[in-house]
Structure 1
Amino acid sequence: MCYGYEFSSRQSKKSVFSAPVGQYISGYTIGVLVLDLWSPKIPGMVASAASYRYPVRHKLVEVHPPERLLYGDPEILEELVIAGKELEKEGVRAIVGACGYFGHFQPQLASALNVPVYLTSLLQIPMIKAGLKSDQKVGILCADSDNMTIELLKKTGVDDPNIYVIRGMGIKPEFSAIMENRTSFNNEELKKEIINEAVKLVAENPEVGALLLECSDFPPYSFDIQQEVRVPVFDYMTLINWAHQAVAQRPYQGDL
């Protein structure tokens, strides 16, 4: 069954519409699986509806403690499948995650659902590398470098460990607010922490030709990072916008 595809009568010349049994809402092209983390969700973060120019449907996945996701606790998969199937019934056309470490479950969830699944920003790495010179690498800035393992990256289609370098955020006063479920953070200080680590990653690895920001809370700072490092910067929103464009194509208009 293909969920979520129905078009206006102007485009399809139809006056009769149908929907799968159980689809009680419509209009959401992207479904987003989110963790129950309580830190503020500002525009640009994947868990914020203000980050999108199109409708998205967020779905909570309860993972206690959240560290279980970092190392890929296999018991999480059942919850992901349940949440993914709920999003399917609600009419989404593609499903994404709101944490790069959801990549532990990318192959299994893609096989279990009937819509495309792009759980992690890491899926962009092969495409990014394809556009770089042979001696250039992708710099991965992630939340937790200890759990950014070869096994995780292989599940996202990255088989060659020689094409990337990794830097983790480590323990930082403001970034720690996210994983510690603190209900506030100083945004200016958080921005400085993330930019500083991105700058160090590029400065210490001159072979880096592009950056991939793993964490779903990094996109608000992508612009400022790029101003400092002067290389292409990919993040969760570049992945989600790409998926949205593919599942919700629009006709082109203009003068000839």
Structure 2
Amino acid sequence: MIIRANKGQVSYGESIGILMLDTFTPFIPGDVGNATTYSFPVRYQTVKGFTFDKLLQKDRSMLVPILEAGHQLVQEGVKAITADCGYMAMYQEEIANELQVPVFLSSLLQIPFISTTLRQEDKIGIICSKSSNFEEELLLKIGVSPKVPLCIRGMEDKENFRKAAHDEIGILDPSKIEEEVVAVAIEMIQSEPSVKVILLECSSLPPYAAAIQKAVQLPIFDYVTMIRYVHSAIVQTRYSGHM
């Protein structure tokens, strides 16, 4: 079999490309931004100047650098592109229409799939980075019907999470953030018993998914469940076994 090089590509084997905000936060294992989170190679590309604040402001001037970073990842051989903030849903349509590989920028893209697995009266609980910025427009951008029953809780009032993710002080205490997000999940299901599934919007929350599940005994979806799912589709493996 003859293998040919791709023009402009100098390394191979990285299936998923990840667009990163320009932030100052340590990414622990389980975070989208930590390569050891995955059992397969990924490739990162920082969108220079694209801060969390600019994302929340829906800064349209950032569309060009996002596209440039996406094109760079495609040139370097990735087979699909994601990002590291659920609020990137604001740019999903434009980026997906431009790039020549599948694009799945937001963990919120899992909502339609999850909703079809539930009864009509059941709710999806969403724990997000900042609930005040979780708007209907964000969901409409990715084709989520306003009729899908959701229960939203934010992490902006939790001191340790806020300092690490919003204030970007450059340090975090995983044990304290775990306590905070577990408390949010418990409060959610106690106040909304109809919540039957939890989706973590923020890319920094997957490290705590197991602790949340242990506390509330519900299915937990997050960025990593989505990335693993897409990877399994674009990098199929042959099965072996016996009959």
TM-score, normalised relative to structure 2: 0.96
**1 CA distance for matches of 2:152 and 2:5?**
45
Structure 2 match to 1:36: 22
Structure 2: segments with no counterpart, 5+ residues: none
Aligned with 1:85 (options 54, 71, 80): 71
**2 CA distance for matches of 1:103 and 1:36?**
17
**1 CA distance for matches of 2:208 and 2:222?**
10
Structure 2 match to 1:186: 173
Contact 1:63 1:69 in 2 (8 A): no
For the pair 1:175 / 2:161, whether they are aligned, the reply is: yes
How far apart are 1:64 and its partner, in Å? 5.0
Structure 2 match to 1:251: 238
For the pair 1:215 / 2:202, whether they are aligned, the reply is: yes
Structure 1 match to 2:94: 108
Structure 1: segments with no counterpart, 5+ residues: 1-13
Equivalences for residues 103-182 of structure 1 within 5 A = 103-176=89-162, 177-182=164-169
Contact 2:115 2:148 in 1 (8 A): no
**2 CA distance for matches of 1:145 and 1:35?**
19
C-alpha distance 94-250 of structure 1, shift in aligned 2 (>3 A): same
**2 CA distance for matches of 1:159 and 1:72?**
21
How far apart are 1:179 and its partner, in Å? 1.7
> What is the percentage of aligned positions where both structures have the same residue?
39
Deviates more, 1:124-133 or 1:173-182: 173-182
Structure 1 match to 2:184: 197
TM-score, normalised relative to structure 1: 0.92
Structure 2 match to 1:234: 221
C-alpha distance 162-197 of structure 1, shift in aligned 2 (>3 A): same
Structure 2 match to 1:48: 34
How far apart are 1:194 and its partner, in Å? 0.9
Contact 1:139 1:208 in 2 (8 A): yes
C-alpha distance 152-71 of structure 1, shift in aligned 2 (>3 A): farther
